[in-house]
Amino acid sequence: MAKKKTHAWYAFRRTLPPWRFDELLKELTQQLPRYGVDEVIIKVDTEEFFHGQPPLGWMKNYQKLLFRIKKEMDRIGVVFSINPWITVGHCDRGRDSRKIVPGLRTMVGHDGVECMTCACPIDPVWRKHVAKVWRLYAETKPHVIWIEDDIRTFGHRPIQYGCFCPLHMKAFSDRVGKTVKREELVAAIVKPGRPHPWRKVWLDMQGELMADTVGFLAKTVHAVSPETRMGLMSSNPVNHCMEGRKWRDFAAALADGKPLYSRPPMGNYSEGELRGFYYSHNSIKATRYCLPDGVIEQTEVENVPFTKYANSVNFTFVEMAISFAFGSHGVTMNLFDHCGTPMQADPEVGAMLGAKKPFLDGLAKKAQQPGSYRGVRLLHHDRSSYVKRLAKGDEYGRLAEDGYPMMQALETLGIPTTYEASNVVAAAGQTLRTYSDAEIREMLSGGLLLDGAAARVLIERGFAKEIGLKDASPLVPMDSLGAWSAEEFFNAKFGGKQQNFMSSRMPGLSGNPSISLLKPLPKTQIVSRLVDPDAKPGYPVMTACENSLGGRIVVHAWDFGNSFGKTFLNPIRQEQYQSIIRWLSRNKPAILVRGDSGGVYPLAFRKDCDGETLLGLFNLSLDPWPSVEYELTDTRKPLRLELLSPSGKWGASKLLRATKKGKQVVVRCKTTVPFDQPLFIRVIWKT
């Protein structure tokens, strides 16, 4: 592994099926250096050609091929790692592994559906088998063994949520001291209203058993190859809440005392629209927040089904740039199929990887410096699913954590978000239920933005006065209140004006969003209100108050869970939101971003490092941004500005300008920003 230091670390995931092995191995050795690849992660028994739980005889033969790959990679200076395609299994696809592993206990879903291949992670028969298979992997001494995202208790086709097999039901019954049937337990978990006590017992148990499972895998590997690192592919943290994952315990068990690797999911497997990158970048930030410090991050850049029919080369490049801009240490790329098609069947992909490496390296070098991403703080809590209250008829999946639309709303409106400390916190849905009264009081003493659902939680908790309300009703569909046309952002103190109308048909024109009827206290200001078809004012929609704790609170009465979407977004909304963030932060917003003449869909960031700040803008629209303006708060003066060139060099530029008034620093860049050329600026501060 004596390689020169690369910042934009390329880890390449590739399958070499045994029936086309020699040709594909030769291609790897020829092409990886051209593509700028630093590490190869061999996927074993993958996708269409997988055998279910890998048969031991097949694995023993394939191990010989792994040794051959490793030898060749050592020769060309590429690091060798392994990614078994399954751990417990992603899906059955007609395979019945009970024939390969006699006595195998497969997973059972919450609805009683039973898998044929996906194994119950606590089954001793599966554990015995997987230990034999993983010892074979470990004998090849890979740098990292990646555990797939099938190491979870949801999404194993054909089941949705599980495992509720007899082994799991026995373990649960032991914990509660009586025999419990699956149907009884599931009904208790999704009971509407106040959570049934069994939900906690179940989530605790699942969390512990999954940590025990990854601990077992790590110990199996380390008994054979102590130097091999364990890598974790995960899913969106909001979903891991549903299985009681306590990330720190889980990570400690998997790391087994060594450095841990993390592969946050970027999604966007098949290019729908550029806006999918709001999910991707958030996945990096949220997963990092969940894990302990010191974890090595390599994002998952993947297109399925692995050709330009899924993701264009440009789209893949932007995804890689997002990975490095948000501070990841590398990208794991799953860009070619697992059917044995040579990589050079599409030479454009490899050519892009090689050509973009210097630019990404220049970006990564600065973005990987220690520091903090600034913006409005979002909330995540491992225990969100413990306390979430379900409504009658809610399905199991509603246990997932709320809050995602708040992230996308803010980012889209040019208000970057963070999971780190901030002078403004934003909460949507029921996430606040997880926090203690003291923690909530702390939030109430700063800037706090709430949607209608979050305001309801605080009313229930007795904080009505502190959020400027006498009361707020449970959420009701807007149409149940009669005929309402629009939200009028009218209050001039917040930058609004009469007849600033925004559609109230959200998230799309056929929508009927839920809203809480706010009853403001006398001193509370009304920022926006509903108007009827004659433009006559009605219910308040957005309120703002200062409370006795010294905090500033804005309530936006919509339920973001069903109101955020395309009709939520418009230029008036952007003004409204940037204005309230300025007010909530007492004129000290960490960062706001705008385009001169209407740039839309920014994905921007501010990272503060020692003596300098890195600014970035991805344009997630096909119209180029004509220019970019960042509004920052800082006590320091900018000394020098630098721009990242396409060749990866940082340097001064006539396009850049900074002005300072009080604590407000405005950085402007007079250049167009198309979607495939993200913009990166360094602000070096006077010390």
Q: Residues in the site for Zn ion, rule: CB under 5 A?
A: 120, 163, 165, 167-168
Q: And the tokens for 474?
A: 């449970």
Q: Are 447 and 609 in contact (CB under 8 A)?
A: no
Q: How far is the CB of 635 from Zn ion (least distance, A)?
A: 56
CB nearer Zn ion, residue 212 or residue 676 = 212
DSSP string, 52-88: SSPPHHHHHHHHHHHHHHHHHHHHHT-EEEEEES-SS
Beta strands 679-685 and 638-644 are: antiparallel
User: Alpha helices of 392-451 — where are they, by DSSP H?
Assistant: 404-412, 437-444
CB nearer Zn ion, residue 91 or residue 683 = 91
Q: How far is the CB of 89 from Zn ion (least distance, A)?
A: 13
Q: And the tokens for 153?
A: 């208790």
CB nearer Zn ion, residue 163 or residue 454 = 163
Q: How far is the CB of 608 from Zn ion (least distance, A)?
A: 46
Report the side by side order of strands in the sheet with 628-633.
591-595, 628-633, 664-669, 656-661
CB nearer Zn ion, residue 113 or residue 167 = 167
Main-chain phi, psi angles of 332, to 5 degrees: -100, 125
CB nearer Zn ion, residue 120 or residue 274 = 120
Beta strands 602-609 and 476-477 are: unpaired
Q: Are 379 and 431 in contact (CB under 8 A)?
A: yes
Q: How far is the CB of 170 from Zn ion (least distance, A)?
A: 9
Q: How far is the CB of 163 from Zn ion (least distance, A)?
A: 3
Q: How far is the CB of 126 from Zn ion (least distance, A)?
A: 9
Q: How far is the CB of 107 from Zn ion (least distance, A)?
A: 6
CB nearer Zn ion, residue 133 or residue 163 = 163
Q: How far is the CB of 212 from Zn ion (least distance, A)?
A: 13
Q: How far is the CB of 273 from Zn ion (least distance, A)?
A: 38
Q: Residue 126 and residue 220: Cα distance in Å, rounded?
A: 13
CB nearer Zn ion, residue 104 or residue 603 = 104
SS3 category, 639: strand
Q: How far is the CB of 55 from Zn ion (least distance, A)?
A: 22
User: Amino acid letter at 74?
Assistant: D
Q: Residue 420 and residue 526: Cα distance in Å, rounded?
A: 30
Q: How far is the CB of 147 from Zn ion (least distance, A)?
A: 18
Q: How far is the CB of 396 from Zn ion (least distance, A)?
A: 16
CB nearer Zn ion, residue 163 or residue 254 = 163
Helices 197-224 and 247-255: crossing angle in degrees, nearest 10, is 20
60, 84, 521 from 63: Cα distances, Å: 5, 12, 71
CB nearer Zn ion, residue 163 or residue 544 = 163
CB nearer Zn ion, residue 168 or residue 366 = 168
Q: Are 65 and 104 in contact (CB under 8 A)?
A: no
User: Alpha helices of 512-605 — where are they, by DSSP H?
Assistant: 560-563, 571-584
CB nearer Zn ion, residue 88 or residue 541 = 88
Q: Are 9 and 38 in contact (CB under 8 A)?
A: yes
Q: How far is the CB of 26 from Zn ion (least distance, A)?
A: 43
Residues near 366 by Cβ (< 8 Å), separated by ≥ 6? 609, 614, 644, 650, 680, 682
Q: And the tokens for 570?
A: 């418009």
Q: How far is the CB of 164 from Zn ion (least distance, A)?
A: 7
Q: And the tokens for 147?
A: 């555990």
Residues near 281 by Cβ (< 8 Å), separated by ≥ 6? 322, 325, 326, 411, 603, 605
Tokens 């899913």 -> residue: 235
439 DSSP assignment: H
| Of 415, 553, 576, the residue nearest 489 (C-alpha) | 576
Residues near 187 by Cβ (< 8 Å), separated by ≥ 6? none
CB nearer Zn ion, residue 108 or residue 545 = 108
Neighbours of 94 (CB within 10 A): 8
HSE-CB of 662 using CA atoms within 13 angstroms: 5
DSSP string, 300-365: EEE-TTSSTTTS-HHHHHHHHHHHHHTT-SEEEEE-S-SS---GGGSHHHHHHHHHHHHHHHHHHH
Q: How far is the CB of 150 from Zn ion (least distance, A)?
A: 14
CB nearer Zn ion, residue 163 or residue 331 = 163
CB nearer Zn ion, residue 163 or residue 400 = 163
CB nearer Zn ion, residue 120 or residue 440 = 120
Q: How far is the CB of 204 from Zn ion (least distance, A)?
A: 16
Tokens 């509603």 -> residue: 398
Residues near 309 by Cβ (< 8 Å), separated by ≥ 6? none
CB nearer Zn ion, residue 106 or residue 528 = 106
Element (H, E) at 447: strand 447-451
Q: How far is the CB of 86 from Zn ion (least distance, A)?
A: 16
CB nearer Zn ion, residue 114 or residue 149 = 114
Q: Residue 467 and residue 458: Cα distance in Å, rounded?
A: 8
